[in-house]
Structure 1
């Protein structure tokens, strides 16, 4: 599991073992982009920019949903895998997002809430929502990059 605090000071500790401190969608996007650049860019067959943009959109929506609808962001974890990235976002709310639109379908009309959850469903795979023992929930998704 990759859960690291993005540090410009060049700390040489393995980034997978450092705690993450994310307080906004912008900080989460910046952090995830740094992981993608570190993990995939040096290798052959690197992640394409469109796939990275999709990943960053999912990051934004998950973090924004935790902040706006989940009582705040309780944690953020990133796991780079061979084919993509697993994201886990923890919040303080027990409310589970509605999957009423089905896999990847966008609502026909705007019904007061945003388009974030349907976009997450469209762009991510292996979506899981687990209740946390201490209260709240974890939304975990896999976003393919290859």
Structure 2
């Protein structure tokens, strides 16, 4: 099982989100055996981007992003300071697309409260 933890800045910025996406690309490039399709990579990068963006905007900042490769799946988990779970809302010009998109693309999603405070939001993706 391959794992990678990535520290992510605590303020929303395009550089921070781009860095998280690049870390995910690096993680995928190092997998043996590799992910099965380019679609897997694109899906993972999109989910990473949405989870990190949501954590930065609504969760008080992401502390870490954990990427874990299992034999038939890849888990993306973002850990932030807010105990409040993501919510689905009607999309508008200010957002509302990320959580439904991540939920749709993933095999499963989960929100887990952390004993040290905050929560983890994870998505399980096909490998």
TM-score (norm 1): 0.72
Mapped partners of 1:47, 1:33: distance in 2 = 14
**Structure 1 residue 3 displacement after superposition:** 2.6
Match of 2:13 in 1: none
Long gaps (5+) in structure 2:
10-15
User: Is 2:113–2:119's contact at 8 Å kept on the other side of the alignment?
Assistant: yes
Long gaps (5+) in structure 1:
5-19, 101-106
User: Is 2:66–2:76's contact at 8 Å kept on the other side of the alignment?
Assistant: yes
**Structure 1 residue 119 displacement after superposition:** 0.3
Radius of gyration: which is bigger? 1
1:144 and 2:126 correspond? yes
Q: Which segments of structure 1 move beyond 6 Å, counting only runs of 4 or more? A: none
Give the 3-state SS of the residue equivalent to 1:3 in structure 2: strand
Higher RCO structure, 1 or 2 (CA under 8 Å, sep 6+): 2
TM-score (norm 2): 0.82
Mapped partners of 2:126, 2:63: distance in 1 = 24
Mapped partners of 2:25, 2:46: distance in 1 = 11
User: Is 2:78–2:120's contact at 8 Å kept on the other side of the alignment?
Assistant: yes
Q: Over aligned residue pairs, what C-alpha RMSD do you find?
A: 2.1
User: Is 2:59–2:82's contact at 8 Å kept on the other side of the alignment?
Assistant: yes
Structure (1/2) with the larger strand percentage: 2
- 1:1-146 maps to which residues of 2 (within 5 A)? 2-4=3-5, 20-23=6-9, 24-40=16-32, 43=33, 46-99=35-88, 110=92, 112-145=94-127
